[in-house]
Structure 1
Amino acid sequence: MSAFTAIANSGISTLYRILVYLFLEVVPKSELKYIIPALYLAYAATLPAATPLFTQVVAIQEEKVVVEEKPDSNGELVTDVTVSETTLVAPVPQPLEWSSAFKSIFFSVPSPVPILRYANLAINTLLLFAVAEFLLVPYFDDASGVVYTRVGALYPDAAKIVVRYPPTTNATQNLVRLSWRQVDTKGSTDAPWRDGPLANLTADSDWVSTLRLSGLWPTTTYEYRFEDLNDTVLPYPAEPIRFRTFPDSRLYSGSNFRFLASSCMTPNFPYAPLQSRRIKGFDLLADTLWPKSSAPLVSQVVPTSSSAEAPESTTSDAVPAASHTSENATVLVSNVTLPVAPEKPEPPTEFMIFLGDFIYADVPVYYGDDQEAYRRFYRRNYNSPSFRKVYERLPIFHTYDDHEIINNYVGQGNDSKGPFPSASNAFELYNANANFDSPAEGQYYYDFKYGDAAFFVMDTRRYRSDISVGDPTTHTMLGDQQLAALYNWLGKVNQTAVFKFIVTSVPFTSLWTYEGPVETWAGFPAEKAALLSALHTVPNVIILSGDRHEFAAIEFEAGDWGHNVLEISTSPMSMFYVPFIRTLLPRSEEIVNKTRENVIVNEDGSKEVLQYVVEVPKERVLQYIAEGNYKWSWIEVDTKDHQHPVVNVDIMINGKSAYKLEVVGKPVKLQLSTALGAFVPQSFKGMLDRIGLKPSKWF
């Protein structure tokens, strides 16, 4: 055995442990699933030869006496005594010392103490089992029996409801009826249950169906449950699921509500043993939305000094939050602790927009272009008790990104291109069918309104061009049909909504570096420039994006002639972030001219206004926070004061408020409607329902 073998064994073991930690706790890089088992085998193979080098020995003198009778020269027997000495090398049993034990365990140093050698081997073997659990559970835990329901798109007069209810027998069909009733303003009800739509659940649809419940009233609470064809109430859900319809957007009385936005999630990452169904980000979100204590939830304010609870901005060039004011009066930032004032009641959180990467079909293992493999990932997420805490109580609307298909997927408008057919089938069944209806049949982009706030949700994968070929001026992210729908939506909501939210699964800014030029809108400069020019003509536009596993607030400067645009990029909901490495530039090289004024007061009291032109970055970072495995944006829209509309953004990281942003909008004179439904008292609505009058007759 050589010293080299012992050193190599220790080095292999240490490298093995580092890579296991990175794989399970930092970034689950796919390549490591091959490297880690190979290192374990190398460690086990060199372990026996590495041990003796570290065994201490001592020399022992041994005396040997030999008595022999032999005849002398006269033939008589005589006794001959021979004494000899030899030196033997013997091992010395080593006592267990804590200092050497720590070094042996922590640095994987082979030890002559058997218990330490066995402990090192056991630790490395347990780490291998942990890697195996993380890799293989998504395959063996197929969640085929999961039963769940959730609320999707909400309208003033309708709701979309998803149900998965596989039969308890080997039937090929399962018929489930939704029953529903109205809940009064006090949260109780004596209204009779009504028969709703029937769900025809089949194995071909993975026992999933999306139902549309119509004939509802705006801003009204309802509850639903499921029954079989014999009117027997099914055991799930144990309690009826409640939801509230959206207000009628044709009435302008001002809105005050909150919603959530985030992207990127996978179960049990960072890894914890035997927690394969946990999605910790949703545990934290549920605790934030519905705290166990009876005290009302109060948003936290981050102190100006750094603390262990609040991540600091990692962009040194970010504008100091306490002093920043946008030139176009669009953004005010505050992260200082102010005197506590009486707080107004917090508005309800009405829904969540999930910005993509709901599943990771290719991380850390890609199980192939197989329809069942994709469906299994969705079932596992809906089987998570962490996620169930949220989706049973909060409507969620979805878009998708590359990991619902495969990393860096480029669709090019070819729906037959693998693995899109298998991936899109699962996305439709579990998420897309419950979204708002698209303006075009069979598309995944859509728009909706909540009161006087409008939303357009893009599809950034299906039609994007391959930017490695062709003329860059012809490359498209959205495709002609979707781009036309977006421009049409902008024209429609310009005077019918105060705030306009545009949802893109990938960042709109070009400031991200690593993979940014390929993955984000930076790879489509011509289409981005044209769209941004249009956005600058519309007041109060906010872009919501995800994908980067970091948070950033970006401002797009319009110069003298238009409206600034703000982007809020938030992720991951429950996934990895990359420590130490920062990939966001503080500002763009592209600049725009902006006129500033300087007022000079003369000695005689007269005032003189001097104008001058400065160059400012086209895109600049307001705030950048990379740290945190669990991030979401909590966005409040308040348009009750028509002359002072405001959006307040609270960035939550690891369950705590990390950054606050106030967006002061510009007043918009909206086109009014005379719709009657929202003025009808809820008690009167119930009476009208009983005699068969439907809301559609009032609008």
Structure 2
Amino acid sequence: MKLLDYCVQLCAIAASAHLKVASYVFLRMLPLGYNFLPKILAAYALFATSFFLHLRSPFRTKVFILDSVANTIILLFIADFLYRGHIFHQENNLAFSRLGFVNATSSRLVIRYPIASNFTLTYVPSGSGVGGKVQALISSSEDYTTSVTLSDLVPSTQYEYTTSLGHLGSFITPSTEQKRFSFISSSCWKPFYPYNPLSHSLSLPGLRSLGDYLDKTGAPDFIFFLGDFIYSDLPVKIAPYTREYYTTLFRQVYASPDWSYKLRNTPWLHMFDDHELVNDFYQEMTDGENIYRNAMNPFVWYQNRANPPSTGPNKFYYTFKRGDASFFVLDTRSYRGVPPAKDAQDGGLGQRSMLGKQQLAELEAWIRDEKGWKVIVSGVPFTRNWSGGGDEMDSWAGYLEERQHIFELLWESGGGIIISGDRHEHATVKFLLPHRPLIRKKMLSSSSQLLLCHSSSNPS
């Protein structure tokens, strides 16, 4: 009997230790529910079984009982992490305004108010000068959001705006002669992560850190957010992938208590990535078209229509200029073909396209025609530095021939800068000219070089 009790205690100790380690990783380091939740629940079940067997033993201890209380509390923490925001913070009453694309003579704004309304937006230059008024409508059909474009503005001027619904904000138009400017590039955040039971369930520590940074340094000219603004599928899928579900996730992020006045009045430019849809998304995946259709509505309402204008309807990629630099922000999800398997023999080579024919053609023309700095912005990494995960081929590593084609166009035209997101860490990589003699002879005359700046916040 003593041997049986000893074995029961060993099982309980092992299950309890596994539960605590896996729970810590899940709550604080890597919120992959499909990896950790089954293990956590299995460990708890094994511990609970051992606990009840141990209660029948004359050798039961208070430590065992205290450990069972601790493990139960950990399980409650996990439930809190997964469901508190979903149950208690749908944020249907959210009201806010935020700044989108701003150039020397125009500005774009997104406004939400939880009641269908006609309203007036008034904008005036700070100090003195002639402002204007814009009439706009908010309706339930677009989750009570609308966008407003202010035109015929004066360069190098600070404006303040108010709405008849109670919104207020400010922005500065850049100079037409601007040569130097600053911007921030980031991606990937998840409310309530890393988990802290004392935090608001919509808290975004990374956003709070960004706000503190801007308070110290001043606001940049604009911020790129290159996708995974919401996580539809992490830590776990908690509702069907409906338009209402995706819309709620956008509301929750914009309702975070960590937004500051300065953050809302800094221009934000957006592109979606897979977690605005579902992990490693491409349209030919199972139910891909339906997921895409449901997810794109809230992205348009809350983000896309405040971006620089695109080249046509239903196109989310866009270009714009700032000073001597021209930016091409890629859509790397809407048109991509089926990626290869991670262990495919071709290793990512083959006639696959991430951009699709039309977008690639526009990118080619842009590379050839632009004379100043060329900056390509991609939601997924151009490098192959990250090759250990199962999603390696979801990046440009799965589309190497198209990537090489883009590289060679850039080398031929004098080089360029590539900015990407997605990987929760920073890297700066210089892509050297290839060593093939004919290509080098063709390209060296322009001193071509490529520099990739990969920068992404971690989800905190």
Tell whether the 8 Å contact from 1:283 to 1:389 is kept in structure 2 after alignment.
no
Distance in structure 1 (CA, Å) of the matches to 2:146 and 2:286: 26
Give the secondary structure class of the aligned counterpart of 1:503.
strand
The one-letter code matched in structure 2 to 1:16 is L
* Counterpart position of 2:233: 362
Tell whether the 8 Å contact from 2:219 to 2:262 is kept in structure 1 after alignment.
no
Give the secondary structure class of the aligned counterpart of 2:197.
coil
Matches within 5 A, 1:445-456: 445-456=317-328
Matches within 5 A, 1:305-344: none
Give 1:147's match in structure 2, choosing from 72, 87, 95: 95
* Counterpart position of 2:452: 567
The one-letter code matched in structure 2 to 1:282 is L
Q: CA deviation at 1:246?
A: 3.2
Deviations along 1:551-586, one digit per CA (max 9) or x if unpaired, are: 211111115434110101112x241xxxxxxxxxxx
Higher strand share: 1
Give the secondary structure class of the aligned counterpart of 2:20.
helix
Q: 1:391 to 1:556 in 2, by over 3 A?
A: same
* Counterpart position of 2:437: none
Give 2:402's match in structure 1, choosing from 517, 521, 527: 527
1:401 aligns with 2:273: yes
1:480 aligns with 2:418: no
The one-letter code matched in structure 2 to 1:243 is F
Q: 1:163 to 1:182 in 2, by over 3 A?
A: same
Q: CA deviation at 1:53?
A: 5.7
Q: CA deviation at 1:434?
A: 0.9
Distance in structure 2 (CA, Å) of the matches to 1:214 and 1:434: 14
Q: 1:26 to 1:416 in 2, by over 3 A?
A: closer
* Counterpart position of 1:134: 81
* Counterpart position of 2:112: 164
Give the secondary structure class of the aligned counterpart of 2:404.
helix
Matches within 5 A, 1:451-470: 451-468=323-340
The one-letter code matched in structure 2 to 1:387 is W
Distance in structure 1 (CA, Å) of the matches to 2:233 and 2:287: 19
Matches within 5 A, 1:14-29: 14-29=17-32
Tell whether the 8 Å contact from 1:516 to 1:522 is kept in structure 2 after alignment.
no
Q: 1:511 to 1:180 in 2, by over 3 A?
A: same
1:282 aligns with 2:282: no
Distance in structure 2 (CA, Å) of the matches to 1:481 and 1:391: 35
Give the secondary structure class of the aligned counterpart of 2:230.
coil
Give 1:256's match in structure 2, choosing from 180, 190, 206: 180
Q: 1:144 to 1:574 in 2, by over 3 A?
A: farther
Give the secondary structure class of the aligned counterpart of 1:461.
coil
Distance in structure 2 (CA, Å) of the matches to 1:429 and 1:412: 25
* Counterpart position of 2:174: 246
The structure with the largest alpha-carbon Rg is: 1
Tell whether the 8 Å contact from 2:425 to 2:458 is kept in structure 1 after alignment.
no
Q: TM-score, normalised by structure 2?
A: 0.89
Give the secondary structure class of the aligned counterpart of 1:12.
helix
Tell whether the 8 Å contact from 1:179 to 1:194 is kept in structure 2 after alignment.
yes
Give the secondary structure class of the aligned counterpart of 2:293.
helix
Deviations along 1:306-342, one digit per CA (max 9) or x if unpaired, are: xxxxxxxxxxxxxxxxxxxxxxxxxxxxxxxxxxxxx
Distance in structure 2 (CA, Å) of the matches to 1:446 and 1:362: 27
Matches within 5 A, 1:643-658: none
Distance in structure 1 (CA, Å) of the matches to 2:272 and 2:286: 17
Q: 1:538 to 1:375 in 2, by over 3 A?
A: same
Tell whether the 8 Å contact from 2:125 to 2:159 is kept in structure 1 after alignment.
yes
Distance in structure 2 (CA, Å) of the matches to 1:390 and 1:26: 29
Give 1:122's match in structure 2, choosing from 69, 72, 84: 69
1:489 aligns with 2:438: no
* Counterpart position of 1:549: 424
Q: CA deviation at 1:424?
A: 0.8
Tell whether the 8 Å contact from 1:282 to 1:574 is kept in structure 2 after alignment.
no
Give 1:513's match in structure 2, choosing from 371, 387, 390: 387
The one-letter code matched in structure 2 to 1:197 is Q
* Counterpart position of 1:342: none
Q: CA deviation at 1:145?
A: 1.1
Q: CA deviation at 1:506?
A: 0.6
Matches within 5 A, 1:432-451: 432-451=304-323
Q: 1:254 to 1:165 in 2, by over 3 A?
A: closer
Tell whether the 8 Å contact from 1:507 to 1:521 is kept in structure 2 after alignment.
yes
Distance in structure 2 (CA, Å) of the matches to 1:518 and 1:390: 38
Matches within 5 A, 1:667-686: none
Give 2:117's match in structure 1, choosing from 169, 174, 181: 174
Give the secondary structure class of the aligned counterpart of 1:536.
helix
Give the secondary structure class of the aligned counterpart of 2:121.
strand
Which deviates more, 29-38 or 280-289? 29-38
Distance in structure 2 (CA, Å) of the matches to 1:521 and 1:163: 35
Distance in structure 2 (CA, Å) of the matches to 1:415 and 1:20: 32
* Counterpart position of 1:270: 194
Tell whether the 8 Å contact from 2:243 to 2:295 is kept in structure 1 after alignment.
yes
Q: 1:35 to 1:203 in 2, by over 3 A?
A: farther
Matches within 5 A, 1:6-85: 6-31=9-34, 32-51=36-55, 55=59
**Structure 2 residue runs without a partner (length 5+):** 435-439
* Counterpart position of 1:420: 292
Q: CA deviation at 1:176?
A: 2.2
Q: 1:274 to 1:437 in 2, by over 3 A?
A: same
**Structure 1 residue runs without a partner (length 5+):** 56-110, 168-172, 184-188, 228-233, 292-296, 298-346, 576-628, 630-699
Aligned-residue CA RMSD in angstroms? Answer: 2.4
* Counterpart position of 2:163: 226
Q: TM-score, normalised by structure 1?
A: 0.59
Tell whether the 8 Å contact from 1:510 to 1:516 is kept in structure 2 after alignment.
no
Q: CA deviation at 1:121?
A: 2.4
Q: CA deviation at 1:508?
A: 1.1
Tell whether the 8 Å contact from 1:457 to 1:502 is kept in structure 2 after alignment.
yes
* Counterpart position of 2:152: 215
Give the secondary structure class of the aligned counterpart of 2:412.
coil
Q: 1:484 to 1:197 in 2, by over 3 A?
A: farther
Give 2:414's match in structure 1, choosing from 539, 564, 577: 539
The one-letter code matched in structure 2 to 1:436 is P
Distance in structure 1 (CA, Å) of the matches to 2:75 and 2:394: 33
Tell whether the 8 Å contact from 2:328 to 2:376 is kept in structure 1 after alignment.
yes
1:206 aligns with 2:149: no
Q: 1:389 to 1:519 in 2, by over 3 A?
A: farther
Q: CA deviation at 1:350?
A: 0.9
Distance in structure 2 (CA, Å) of the matches to 1:271 and 1:222: 39
Tell whether the 8 Å contact from 1:143 to 1:383 is kept in structure 2 after alignment.
yes
Deviations along 1:413-466, one digit per CA (max 9) or x if unpaired, are: 999712100111111111111111101222000011112221110000100011
Q: CA deviation at 1:142?
A: 1.0
Q: CA deviation at 1:25?
A: 0.8
Give 1:195's match in structure 2, choosing from 126, 130, 133: 133
The one-letter code matched in structure 1 to 2:451 is L
Higher helix share: 2
* Counterpart position of 1:89: none
The one-letter code matched in structure 2 to 1:399 is M
